[in-house]
Amino acid sequence: MSAVVSGLEASSQSPTWHAATRLLHNRSFLIGAGLVLAIALMALFADALAPFDPLRNSFRTRLLAPDGRYWFGTDHFGRDILSRVIFGARISLTIGILTALLTGIAGTLIGATAGFFRPLDNPVMRLMDALMAFPAILLAIAVAAVLGASVTNVIIALAIATTPHTARIVRASVLVVREQEFVLAARALGASETRLLFRHVLPNALGPLIVRLTYVFATAILAEAALSFIGVGPPPPAPSFGSIIAQGRDFIAEAPWITIFPGLAIIISVLGLNLLGDGLRDVLDPRMRT
């Protein structure tokens, strides 16, 4: 502890700002952020970037190998794969973001309740355990099959499948924070339980959740591909990474480019998100702080 009583230069930099500076020195975060940003920009400006209409069929351009005109080749309907991948990023990223957002909200509410209000801990978490006993992808398939194939339903299915684990992570970090002295101090000043939870405990417990959500984002992109592949994903003709691969399945011997390029797009997005998550974890995880 410093014996200096008054360092007069009152720089007002929040903990968030400190974390941000550390992030900018973290290589895996930078690479991950770069990759994710590239994919995100691609999705955002798909209309300007895509050389062709991703939905336009043409018999004359069926199953063309990649060349100067069709960089990624064409599929069995003569649609440009590059354009489909660019537009596919839109659906895939939307699914990833919304799934992460939904599971983040649901997981926080469930996990915080269980971790903060002791009597609810057991019933709530045992229910989550039961859900976790199902393999996530199986659960997603079941939900998507019941609700029907649409982008919204895929998001709902994936959010349900990823929420138990998220809730467990939030609960764990709430359990740690709630025992800290500043929570007792706030209680000693008459803060109500809900106020304690939302003002004092949760803001200090969100680090692990942010990291978790980057993984949920990546998992959702992969899971969407898996769901599309078995036919319960977003319905055709709208392209998503998964649905392009699924449609290329029958032509994998003659026209492997249909599957290879969306596959690469998945690899890049997931790799980017995982690197981003690793970087965030290194910076936000208290155990790794020095």
Q: According to the binding rule CB under 8 A, does residue 186 interact with other proteins?
A: yes
Q: According to the binding rule CB under 8 A, does residue 57 interact with other proteins?
A: no
Q: Which residues of 12-49 are buried (b: 16+ CB within 10 A; e: fewer)?
A: eeeeeeeeeeebeebebbebbbebbeebbebbeebeee
Nearer Cβ to other proteins (53/179)? 179
Nearer Cβ to other proteins (13/290)? 13
Figure out which of the listed residues 14, 119, 288, 289 binds other proteins, where binding follows CB under 8 A.
14
Residue 22's Cα: distance from chain center in Å?
22
Number of shown-chain residues binding other proteins (CB under 8 A)? 30
CB of 190 to other proteins, least distance (A): 3
Nearer Cβ to other proteins (205/225)? 205
Cis status of the peptide bond prior to 237, with omega within 30 of 0: yes
Question: In the 3-class helix/strand/coil scheme, how is 221-258 assigned residue by residue?
Answer: HHHHHHHHHCCCCCCCCCCCHHHHHHHHHHHCCCCCHH
**The tokens of 287 are what?**
């155990």
Region of 62-70, 100-108, 187-195, 246-254 interacting with other proteins (CB under 8 A): 187-195
Helices (H), 45-80: 46-49
Q: According to the binding rule CB under 8 A, does residue 181 interact with other proteins?
A: yes
CA dist 178 to 11, 112, 246, Å?
Answer: 29, 10, 47
The amino acid at 266: I
Q: According to the binding rule CB under 8 A, does residue 203 interact with other proteins?
A: yes
Region of 1-9, 69-77, 109-117, 262-270 interacting with other proteins (CB under 8 A): 1-9
**The tokens of 147 are what?**
């609700």
CA atoms within 13 A on the CB side of 279: 22
Residue 282 burial (C-beta neighbours within 10 Å; 0-12, 13-18, 19+): middle
Q: According to the binding rule CB under 8 A, does residue 11 interact with other proteins?
A: yes
CB of 130 to other proteins, least distance (A): 28
Figure out which of the listed residues 22, 62, 76, 187 binds other proteins, where binding follows CB under 8 A.
187
Figure out which of the listed residues 191, 226, 238, 271 binds other proteins, where binding follows CB under 8 A.
191
Q: According to the binding rule CB under 8 A, does residue 1 interact with other proteins?
A: yes
Q: According to the binding rule CB under 8 A, does residue 68 interact with other proteins?
A: no
Nearer Cβ to other proteins (120/138)? 120
Region of 36-44, 146-154, 188-196, 219-227 interacting with other proteins (CB under 8 A): 188-196
**Distance from C-alpha of 270 to C-alpha of 265, rounded to nearest angstrom:** 9
Nearer Cβ to other proteins (118/126)? 118
Q: According to the binding rule CB under 8 A, does residue 180 interact with other proteins?
A: yes
**Distance from C-alpha of 38 to C-alpha of 268, rounded to nearest angstrom:** 10
Residue 242's Cα: distance from chain center in Å?
16
Q: Which residues bind other proteins (CB under 8 A)?
A: 1-8, 10-15, 180-182, 184-192, 199-200, 203-204
